[in-house]
Structure 1
Amino acid sequence: MTSPARPRPVLLTVDDDPQVSRAVARDLRRRFGEDCRIVRASSGVEALEALRELKLRGEPVAVVLADYRMPQMNGIEFLEQAMDLFPRARRALLTAYADTDAAIAAINLVDVDAYLLKPWDPPEEKLYPVLDSMLDAWRASPAAAAEDVKLVGHRWSPASFRARDLLARNAVPYRWFSVEEPEGQRLLEAAGATTDDVPVVVTPDGQVLRAPADAELAAVVGLTVDPREEFYDLVVVGGGPAGLGAAVYGASEGLRTVLVEREATGGQAGQSSRIENYLGFPDGVSGGQLADRARRQAGKFGAELLLTRDVVALEAHGPKRVLRFADGSTIAAHAVVLATGVSYRSLGVDGADQLTGRGVYYGSALTEAASCAGQDVYIVGGANSAGQAAVFFARHARSVTLLVRGPSLEASMSHYLIEQIAQIPPITVRTCTTVAQTHGTDHLESLTLRHEQTGEEETVPANHLFVFIGGAPRTGWLDGVVERDERGFIRTGPGLLADGDRPRGWALERDPWFLESSLPGVFVAGDVRADSVKRVASAVGEGAMAVTLVHRYLGES
Structure 2
Amino acid sequence: MANPAIVTVDDDPAVSRAVARDVRRRYGQDYRVVRASSGAEALDALKEIKLRGEQVAVLLADYRMPQMNGIQFLEAAMDLFPYARRVLLTAYADTEAAIDAINLVDVDHYLLKPWHPPEEKLYPVLDSLLEAWQATPASPEAETRVVGHRWSAESFEIRDFLARNMVPYRWYLLEEPEGQRLLAASGASESDVPVVITPDGKTLVRPSEAEVAAHVGLTTTPASEFYDLAVVGAGPGGLGAAVYGASEGLRTILVERRATGGQAGQSSRIENYLGFPDGVSGAQLTDRARRQAQRFGTELLTAQDVTCLDVKGSARVLTCAGGPRIVAHTVILATGVSYRTLDVPGLAELTGRGVFYGSAATEAPSCSGSDVYIVGGANSAGQAAVYFSRYAARVHLVVRGESLAQSMSAYLIEQIGNIPRIQVHTCTEVAAGHGTDHLEGLTLRDRNTGQARDVDASWLFVFIGAEPHTSWLDGLVERDSQGFVVTGPDLVVGGRRPKGWRLDRDPYHLETSVSGVFAAGDVRANSVKRVASAVGEGAMAVTLVHRYLEAQ
TM-score, with length taken from structure 2: 0.75
Q: Name 1:236's counterpart in structure 2.
A: 231
Match of 2:178 in 1: 183
Superposed, which structure 2 residues align to 1:164-175 within 5 Å? 164-175=159-170
Matched, 1:460 2:446: no
Query: Which residue of the other structure, out of 208, 213, 216, is the alignment partner of 1:213?
Result: 208
Distance 1:253 1:147, change over 3 A: farther
Deviations 1:361-411 (A, max 9, x none): 000000001110000000000000000000000000000000011111111
- Please say if 1:519 is aligned against 2:514: yes
Query: What is the alpha-carbon distance in structure 2 between the residues aligned to residue 183 and residue 311 of structure 1?
Result: 38
Among 245, 261, 285, the residue aligned to 1:290: 285
Residues of 2 paired with 1:273 and 1:402: CA distance? Answer: 16
Q: Is 1:433 equivalent to 2:431 in the alignment?
A: no
Partner of 1:280: 275
In the alignment, is residue 246 of structure 1 matched against residue 241 of structure 2? yes
Output the amino acid matched with 1:489: F
SS of 2:504 mapped into structure 1: coil
C-alpha distance in 2, partners of 1:497/1:403?
Answer: 42
| Alignment match of 1:159 (pick from 130, 154, 160) | 154
Tell me the secondary structure at the aligned position of residue 523 of structure 2. coil
Q: Give 2:499's match in structure 1, choosing from 504, 520, 544.
A: 504
Counterparts of 2:151 and 2:439, CA distance in 1? 9
Please, which of 2, 7, 19 is the counterpart of residue 4 of structure 1? 2
C-alpha distance after superposition, 1:186-222 (max 9, x if no partner): 1111110111111101122221110011011011111
The residue that corresponds to 2:330 in the other structure is 335
2:230 and 2:508 map into 1 onto residues whose CA distance is: 18
Question: SS in structure 1 opposite 2:404?
Answer: coil
State the 1:328 CA deviation.
3.0
Aligned to 1:356: 351
How far residue 6 of structure 1 moved from its aligned partner, in angstroms, is 9.9
User: How far off its partner does 1:321 sit?
Assistant: 0.3
1:281-430 matched pairs, under 5 angstroms: 281-430=276-425
- Using the alignment, how far apart are the partners of 1:58 and 1:188 within structure 2? 16
Per-residue deviation, residues 135-180 of structure 1 (Å, max 9, x unmatched):
xxxxxxxxxxx94211101111111000000010011111110001
| 1:520 CA drift (Å) | 0.1
Say yes or no: does 1:203 pair with 2:198. Answer: yes
Counterpart residue type for residue 313 of structure 2: G
User: What one-letter code is carried by the residue in structure 1 that aligns with 2:492?
Assistant: L
Counterpart CA distance in 2 for 1:420 and 1:4 is 48
* Runs of 5+ consecutive residues of structure 2 not aligned to the other structure: 6-52, 56-140
Give the counterpart of 2:265 among 270, 273, 284.
Answer: 270
Q: Structure 1: 5+ residue runs without aligned partners?
A: 8-56, 60-145
Q: Is the 8 A contact 2:222 2:324 kept in 1?
A: no
Question: Any conservation in 1 of the 2:243–2:292 contact (CA below 8 Å)?
Answer: yes
Residue 189 of structure 1 aligns to a residue in which SS?
helix
CA distance in 2: counterparts of 1:148 and 1:410, whole angstroms: 44
Spell out the pairing of 1:96-175 with structure 2 (5 A cutoff).
147-175=142-170
Task: Name the SS for the 2:518 alignment partner.
Answer: strand
Local SS of the residue matching 1:527: helix
Q: Which residue of 2 aligns with 1:491?
A: 486
- DSSP-derived class of the 1:410 partner: helix
SS in structure 1 opposite 2:350?
coil
d(CA) in 2 for partners of 1:6 and 1:250? 46
CA RMSD of aligned residues (A): 1.5
**Structure 1 residue 257 and structure 2 residue 252: aligned?**
yes
Is 1:545 equivalent to 2:543 in the alignment?
A: no
Cα distance in 2 between the residues matched to 1:148 and 1:496: 49
Tell me how far 1:499 sits from its aligned partner.
1.8
Deviation track 1:284-319 (CA, whole Å, cap 9, x = no partner) reads 000000000000000100001100000000010111
Distance change (3 Å), C-alpha of 1:508 and 1:217: same
Could you tell me the percent identity over the aligned residues?
Answer: 67
SS in 2 for 1:445: strand
Tell me the SS of whatever aligns to 1:537: helix
- Following TM superposition, by how much is the alpha carbon of 1:230 offset from its aligned partner in structure 2, in angstroms? 1.8
Cα gap change, 1:271/1:6 in structure 2, threshold over 3 Å: closer, same or farther?
A: farther
Classify 1:6/1:231 alpha carbon distance in 2 versus 1 (closer, same or farther; 3 Å): farther
What is the alpha-carbon distance in structure 2 between the residues aligned to residue 282 and residue 327 of structure 1? Answer: 41
Separation in 1, partners of 2:329, 2:367: 48
1:149 is matched by which residue type in structure 2?
A: T
> What letter matches 1:536 in structure 2?
V
Contact kept in structure 1, 2:4 and 2:54, CA below 8 Å: no
Amino acid at match of 1:4: A
User: Which residue of structure 1 aligns with residue 33 of structure 2?
Assistant: none
CA contact (8 A) 2:306 2:319 kept: yes
Where 2:443 maps in the other structure, the secondary structure is strand
Separation of aligned partners in 1, 2:545 and 2:244: 11
Distance 2:195 2:222 in 1: 27
Q: Is residue 531 from structure 1 mapped to residue 531 from structure 2 by the alignment?
A: no
Q: Secondary structure at the match of 2:423?
A: strand
CA distance in 2, matches of 1:494, 1:378: 42
Question: Is the CA contact (8 Å cut-off) linking 2:487 and 2:511 kept in structure 1?
Answer: yes
Deviation by residue 1:203-251 (Cα, 9 ceiling, x = unmatched): 2222111001101101111111111112100000000000000000000
Query: Could you tell me how far apart the structure 2 residues matched to 1:529 and 1:6 are?
Result: 54
Question: Residues of 2 paired with 1:435 and 1:548: CA distance?
Answer: 45
Identify the match of residue 192 of structure 1 among 187, 191, 196: 187
Tell me by how many angstroms 1:58 deviates. Answer: 8.5
Aligned 1:474-489 pairs, distance under 5 A:
474-489=469-484
Taking the aligned partners of 1:58 and 1:245, their CA distance within structure 2 comes to 40
Deviation sequence 1:60-89 (CA, Å, 0-9, x none): xxxxxxxxxxxxxxxxxxxxxxxxxxxxxx
Distance in 2 between residues matched to 1:499 and 1:443, nearest whole Å: 54
Runs of 4+ in 1 over 6 A off after TM superposition: none
Query: SS at the partner of 2:405?
Result: coil
| Aligned-partner residue type, residue 187 of structure 2 | G
Deviations 1:31-76 (A, max 9, x none): xxxxxxxxxxxxxxxxxxxxxxxxxx989xxxxxxxxxxxxxxxxx
How many angstroms apart in 1 are the aligned matches of 2:218 and 2:177? 30
| Aligned amino acid, residue 152 of structure 1 | V
User: Equivalents in 1 of 2:357, 2:316: separation in Å?
Assistant: 33
Q: Give secondary structure in 2 for the equivalent of 1:500.
A: coil
| Counterpart residue identity of residue 247, structure 2 | S
Aligned residue for 2:238, secondary structure, equals: helix
Q: Distance in 1 between matches of 2:517 and 2:492?
A: 16
The amino acid across from 1:494 in the alignment is: P
Paired residue type of 1:272: S
Kindly tell me the number of residue pairs found equivalent between the two proteins: 420
- Contact kept in structure 1, 2:382 and 2:416, CA below 8 Å: yes
TM-aligned CA deviation for residue 5 of structure 1 = 5.8
